[in-house]
Amino acid sequence: MISRMRWILLCFLAVILAFNATACSKKEAASKKETGTGIYYTNEKYIKLIHVDKKLDVKENGQLGAEELLDDMRKVNKKSNYRSAIPDKVVVNSVTVLNNVASVDFSTGYKKISNNQDLICRAAIVYTLTQLKAINYVEFSISGQSMLDTDGKAYGALNNDSFVFGNLPVDLEN
């Protein structure tokens, strides 16, 4: 009798756990849907990302989409409370999309930006470009040379999960 009660209790707990897991995944999907697609900008101090809704055709050709999004990242209304995550002194030499990887090459001016600007710039570009179905990863280079971390190692291909600090502080603007 006791073992039968344990079995019923275990079944009951399994049903509750399964229900909770389903509810959590639905909440995550809903929160992603609420964020929607858009451009990632930054605040004046380059310490947080700001997501601004933009109607994007995520099925758009990866090359054309990447070029358009990088151009849009530069366009900021002077009266807005956000700024481009790509610093003014940085020029994007090129972007090439091949095999679901966008390769972004910067001018040498990139080497002169602060660590905060570097991190926010890369994160904003990765978060923005990987919204396109044709792009899963982003690689960075400076004047054709792979971008290196503080240990002298190439960053390689980055995606949204590549940032070790977990979730960036993100404000949503509508």
Same domain, 48 and 114: yes
Average pLDDT over residues 14-36: 43
Same domain, 70 and 136: yes
For residue 120, pLDDT beyond 80? yes
Same domain, 98 and 24: no
Query: Given CA atoms 132, 137, 143, 144 in this order, what sign does their dihedral have?
Result: negative
Q: pLDDT confidence of 97, banded at 50, 70, 90?
A: very high
Same domain, 70 and 150: yes
pLDDT at 44: 85
Non-local CB neighbours of 55 within 8 Å, separated by 6+ positions: 37
Domain count, the chain: 2
| CA distance linking residue 33 with residue 157, whole number of Å | 25
Specify the pTM: 0.75
- Structural domain that includes position 92: 37-173
Q: pLDDT confidence of 32, banded at 50, 70, 90?
A: very low
Same domain, 3 and 30: yes
Same domain, 25 and 93: no
Q: pLDDT confidence of 150, banded at 50, 70, 90?
A: confident
Non-local CB neighbours of 156 within 8 Å, separated by 6+ positions: 139
